[in-house]
Amino acid sequence: MRRIPLLLLCVSLFTPLLLNPASAQAFPNHQIRLVIPFPPGGGTDIAARLVGERLGAQLKQTVVPDNKPGANGVIASELVARAAPDGYTLLVATGSSHAFAPALGVKLPFDPVKDFIPVALIGQFPTVLVLNPAVPAKTMREFVDYARQNPKKLNYGSAGNGSTNHFLGELVKQVAGIDMLHVPYKGSGPASQDLLAGQIQVMVDSVAAAKGNIEAGKLRALGVTTPQRVAQLPDVPTLKENGFDIEYAGWVVVMAPAGTPADVVATLHDAFAAAMNDPLVVDRYGKQGIIIKPMSLAELPVYLRNDKERWAKVAAQAGLKAE
């Protein structure tokens, strides 16, 4: 008779494993999908693919980058929000969908806070105000004077309504007291191509994406948005040096669907931290001007909340609303 309770105990312990063998396997046991909300070629895509490659080496699993552009990150975010919370589908989130869209009052098919768990900050992106060389201005002051003399004749591009480029472009307009027309694109890559072609004249882009074209003389840099000059563009002053109080570095945070087990999140966080310390990542980030700033799992939600609140105030002061 004593054997019956023992047998029942064994059955209760092992039945879940028999019904769901995958739960008994250590994470990860198959490939991980890294959903990128923009087309290939932009700063976010550059960082995500590089870190994803090194993440795969850390976890000894294939990490597949999956570009899902559209609606300024909303399509990709909704896809991941609805994915199984098992750690195998991750979002490369930016301020576009998780700070700027809420600031604009966009009705989102997900909750930026409740539907996601921040896993790792994989880079901060200094941005730079760039011009097509056809614009007759070589300094920020000359640009502002030209823009004031030619209101609404300059078009500035962005990765879409509510993107980092959009908000910073509007901030430049406010602080400099100029009027430009906003032209949204489906990603910073397509916007940059039209900037090079002269279809638009102005853009605030990441240093990572714009650096090569600046060095090649295809774009003219007027100022970076960081507190200090960036090593990758040492001759480009900050906008603050030029007398314009504009300071910001875009962020890229990998997020998992809400409900992902804490141990899986911790495993991913540690693997991302190791990937960010990989000499290859450090070297390429340094060349691209991407900032590595480690944050703990406890610090990430606070950082994201503060950023969201900051841009909500900017949007309110500027009268920016969802279109």
CATH of residue 91's domain is 3.40.190.150
Q: Is 87 left (phi over 0), alpha (psi -120 to 50) or beta?
A: left
Q: Indicate whether 99 belongs to any domain.
A: yes
User: Do residue 23 and residue 115 come from a single domain?
Assistant: yes
What's the pLDDT at 206?
86
CA angle 290, 294, 300 (to 5 degrees): 110
> Six-digit token pair at 42?
């932009």
Q: Indicate whether 137 belongs to any domain.
A: yes
Q: Indicate whether 255 belongs to any domain.
A: yes
- 186: domain CATH number is 3.40.190.10
What's the pLDDT at 9?
46
CB 222 within 8 A of CB 72: no
Q: Indicate whether 9 belongs to any domain.
A: no
User: Do residue 83 and residue 22 come from a single domain?
Assistant: yes
Pairing state between β 32-36 and 63-67: parallel
Q: Indicate whether 3 belongs to any domain.
A: no
In a 13 Å sphere around the CA of 76, the CA atoms on its Cβ side amount to 29
251 φ, ψ (degrees, to nearest 5): -125, 155
In whole angstroms, what is the distance from residue 84 CA to residue 100 CA?
26
DSSP result, 57-72: HHHTS-EEEEE---GG
In whole angstroms, what is the distance from residue 37 CA to residue 34 CA?
10
What's the pLDDT at 66?
98
pTM: 0.77
Q: Indicate whether 5 belongs to any domain.
A: no
Whether residue 28 is preceded by a cis peptide bond, meaning omega within 30 degrees of 0, is yes
Pairing state between β 116-131 and 249-257: antiparallel
122 φ, ψ (degrees, to nearest 5): -105, 15
User: Do residue 57 and residue 83 come from a single domain?
Assistant: yes
User: Do residue 69 and residue 147 come from a single domain?
Assistant: no
Cβ burial of 7 (10 Å; 0-12, 13-18, 19+) is: exposed
User: Do residue 58 and residue 91 come from a single domain?
Assistant: yes
Q: Indicate whether 88 belongs to any domain.
A: yes
Domain extent at residue 59: 14-124+250-318
Total domains in the chain come to 2
CA 316 to chain centre: 22
In whole angstroms, what is the distance from residue 306 CA to residue 157 CA?
26
Amino acid, single-letter form, for residue 129? L
User: Do residue 192 and residue 148 come from a single domain?
Assistant: yes
User: Do residue 78 and residue 215 come from a single domain?
Assistant: no
304 Cβ contact partners less than 8 Å away, ≥ 6 residues apart: 98, 99, 113, 118, 253
User: Do residue 209 and residue 220 come from a single domain?
Assistant: yes
Q: Indicate whether 233 belongs to any domain.
A: no
User: Do residue 301 and residue 166 come from a single domain?
Assistant: no
What's the pLDDT at 300?
98
pLDDT of the chain, 323 residues: tens digit per residue = 455 555 444 545 544 444 444 444 799 999 999 999 988 987 789 899 999 999 999 999 999 999 999 887 999 999 999 999 999 999 999 998 999 999 999 999 999 999 999 999 999 989 999 999 999 999 999 999 999 999 999 999 998 887 888 999 999 999 999 999 999 998 888 999 999 999 999 999 988 889 999 999 999 999 999 888 999 899 999 999 999 999 888 899 999 999 999 999 999 999 999 999 999 999 999 887 788 999 999 999 999 999 999 889 888 877 888 87
User: Do residue 116 and residue 207 come from a single domain?
Assistant: no
CB 175 within 8 A of CB 192: no
What's the pLDDT at 3?
56
In a 13 Å sphere around the CA of 319, the CA atoms on its Cβ side amount to 2
User: Do residue 188 and residue 103 come from a single domain?
Assistant: no
User: Do residue 103 and residue 131 come from a single domain?
Assistant: no
